[in-house]
Amino acid sequence: MNKDIESVKNFWNESYGYNTAVDIKKEDVEPTTIFDKDIAEFSKNASTILDYGCGITFNLYIAHFANPNLKDALGIDPSKNAIDFCEESARKSGFENVHYEVGDIETLKKVRDDSRDFVICSNVLDCVFEKTRNEVVRELYRVTKNSGFFLLKVNFYLDKETALFYHLTAINEHDYAQKGLFRISFYEDEYWINLFSSLGFKLVRKDLYQRQEGIPEDRIFIFKK
């Protein structure tokens, strides 16, 4: 494995730490933010869902409660700590239709063509190298069913001057590092829209999401295949 990729994976795995599994109730994941509401809305008519790069999120738990007809929801993430928590919590909560797997692009390649009604990829594609990003994008398109929906969330956009305020160092025009390790790529909206529309996705709508107080809003793009 490329040392840079391995370092990034180790960073995220360590950042999640170890968390004790919890029993998830419907009231625990009641959608309140625009992001959660988008997850619930597009899960309602999806029998099969994929959350690629899920980390420790409640996305698929929201989907479980939003759709009583949900057959299979799969979360994939390279962080063992994140997957252990999510999978153990799903089992503790009795969610037989929600599963998680430690993996990356190679795991994604094993998902069948046109097999997912709804695909989620949140704060992942702007945190991986361009070569990996382009490969993942093609795979995400491949696994999405015709007429299926794809939800992309990326971080806020920062110009070079503002990036310095966040202690980020420019590697090139778009990529930034922190403490010598690649962290994020900054692109404006049109880049993300064109990245997916060039494959055949059609943009349905855009949303903004205040993930954390005091920082700019994340960007949500919802596409239909």
For helices 3-16 and 80-92, angle between their N-to-C axes, nearest 10 degrees = 40
The one-letter amino acid code at 11 reads F
**Model confidence pLDDT, tens digit, residues 33-74:** 999 999 999 999 999 999 999 999 999 999 999 999 999 999
In this structure, what token pair is assigned to residue 219? 């960007």
Angle at 185 between CA 209 and CA 73, to 5 degrees: 55
Q: Mean pLDDT in the chain?
A: 93
Give the pLDDT mean for 174-178: 93
Please say if the pLDDT value at position 11 is more than 90.
no
Q: What is the pLDDT at residue 79?
A: 93
Give the residue among 75, 47, 78 at the shortest CA–CA distance from 61.
75
- What is the per-residue pLDDT for 180? 85
For residue 68, the model assigns a pLDDT of: 95
Distance, CA of 2 to chain centre? 22
d(CA 60, CA 75): 8
Place 179 in a pLDDT band, splitting at 50, 70 and 90: confident
Q: Which CATH superfamily is domain 3-224 in?
A: Vaccinia Virus protein VP39 (3.40.50.150)
Q: How confident is the model at residue 165 (pLDDT cuts 50, 70, 90)?
A: confident
Q: In what order do the strands lie in the sheet with 144-154?
A: 98-102, 72-77, 48-52, 116-122, 144-154, 218-224, 202-209
Mean pLDDT of 84-88: 96
Of 162 and 137, which is predicted with more confidence? 137
Containing 81, the helix (H) or strand (E) segment is helix 80-92
pLDDT of residue 1: 44
* Confidence category of residue 138, pLDDT binned at 50, 70, 90: very high
Beta bridge partners of residue 191, listed in sequence order: none
pLDDT greater than 80 at residue 113? yes
